[in-house]
Every structure is written in C-alpha cells, then in structure tokens.
Amino acid sequence: MENNGFSLRDRVAVVTGGGQSLGLEISRALSGAGATVVVAEVNPETGADAAEELGGTFVRTDVTDPASVREMVAAVLGAHGRIDVLVNNAGVVHNIPTEEVPDEEWRKVMSVNLDGVFYCCREVGKAMLGRGSGAIVNIASMSGVVSNHPQPQAAYNASKAGVITLTKSLAGEWAGRGVRVNAVSPGYIRTPLTELGMSKQEWADVWLASTPMGRLAEPEEIAPAVLYLASDASSYATGTNLIVDGGYTSW
C-alpha cells in the first residue's frame, strides 16, 4: 500500500473555534484525512452542529479561561486517551483607531488571540510531551508579519505577531521531545468578518489591489496548509510560519 503522509487515520485532533468559518473547513479537512475531530468551540450551536456533521465530538471551551481549557483537555483525554493534533484557530478582530481603543477591547483581542493560544498549547502540550509526539498548528495571520491598511487593527496585528513568535519559541523548546509547533498565516479569507470589511468600498479596493492574485481566499484554500503541518507530510517542519496570502506579503 502506498504511504500517505497526509493521513491522520487513528489520530485525535482538537480544533478551537472549529465549528464555524475557517475553523469548520479545517475540521472538515482533518476529518477527511481520517482524524477523529474534537470541536472545541464556545458557541454550543455551531460546535454541536459541526461535531454531528463530522462524526466527532463537541466540547464547549472558552479559550480565554485556563480552567475551561484544562477541562476540555481532561474531557478529550478521558474520551479518547490521547491528543495527536491541536489547531489553535479561535480568534477575534476589531477595527478601531488606536487612540480610541478601550482597555477592555485591547484585552479581549489579546485574551482570545494570544492568551488562548498559550493556554491551549500549554495544556495540550503537557499531554503530547508525555507521549513524546504531537503536532500543533497555530492560526496566525499575515497581519502578524506586515501592518495591513487601510483599516486600523493594532491589537489584532500585535496579537498575531505574538502568536508567530510563541510558535517559534515552543518549537525550539519541544522539538527534541517529539512535539512539532508550526503556524499558518492566512491573508484575506472570505468569511463573515471579511465580507463586512469588503462592504466598505475604500477597504475592498485597497485589499484587492494589495493582493497580487486579486481576490480573497476561500476557507477551503487555507485548510490544506493546516493539514500539511498537522500530518507526517511535514515531519521535518517545526517553527515554520506558512504564509498563504495570495502574494500580499510578497511586495
């Protein structure tokens, strides 16, 4: 039989924010590769619906709450005995001029986008390190590499830059212990939030003109990059930030 390095057969994958938009497409890709997918989602409706579609399980999880993350990990280990793949996908964004950003909005973005990734990496990492194997994929953004325009989103950009550096830090710490940690940095994806931005003509014009491919990505164009880094096809890759942005950061 031909070896398929992209197969996730007999593996358990946790996807935060895995019940909607990009997270749902990632969950579908991992499930399609054979993984048992656990949708770790704060929204019980979308989370349960996604789990039912995929034949997986749903665990209500608030990634900003360390106790909730610990409970999620305990539930997954109790049900499946292992976690082979973690995809940290949950995220939020706001577009507020920096001088007008309230403290609570700054903290909200950092709490979900950066603190949540850290909490999940830490708790799932313990289980992976205990087994001596695992793959973590953090969803960062091209916004962690360059400063987007014309929309103001300093908190989002800073949080995603933090995710990229956290990814590299954990990769260096854990490479010798069997756990790989990588990031995927998407460009503009056709999601409800992005569509809201595209409704502002001045934003849409700049976004498309700044992207050499001249269009938004579909969520299903990002999910295969995550599958690659989650699977043995990328067995020698760790600390990588895979940018999938239609060329936005190439000029």
Amino acid 14 reads: V
Which residue out of 156, 188, 228, 248 is catalytically annotated? Answer: 156
156 in active site: yes
pLDDT (tens digit, 0 to 9) for every residue of the chain, 251 residues total?
A: 346 899 999 999 999 999 999 999 999 999 999 999 999 999 999 999 999 999 999 999 999 999 999 999 999 999 999 999 999 999 999 999 999 999 999 999 999 999 999 999 999 999 999 999 999 999 999 999 999 999 999 999 999 999 999 999 999 999 999 999 999 999 999 998 898 899 999 999 999 999 999 999 999 999 999 999 999 999 999 999 999 999 999 98
Helix (H, G, I), strand (E, B) or coil at 16: strand
Amino acid 64 reads: T
- What is the chain's alpha carbon radius of gyration, rounded to the nearest angstrom? 17
CB of 164 within 8 A of CB of 174? no
pLDDT of residue 3: 62
CB of 60 within 8 A of CB of 116? no
Find the angle CA(63)-CA(132)-CA(165) to the nearest 5 degrees: 50
pLDDT of residue 251: 84
**Predicted TM-score of the model (pTM):** 0.97
Helices (runs of H) and strands (runs of E) counted in the chain: 9, 7
Locate the domains of the chain by residue range: 12-189+220-243
Q: Residue 103: CB partners within 8 Å, gap ≥ 6?
A: none
If 0-12 CB within 10 Å is exposed, 13-18 middle and 19+ buried, where does residue 47 land? buried
pLDDT of residue 196: 86
Fold of 12-189+220-243: Rossmann fold (3.40.50)
CB of 150 within 8 A of CB of 200? no
The DSSP code for 41 is: E
Q: Residue 112: CB partners within 8 Å, gap ≥ 6?
A: 63, 64, 90, 91, 92
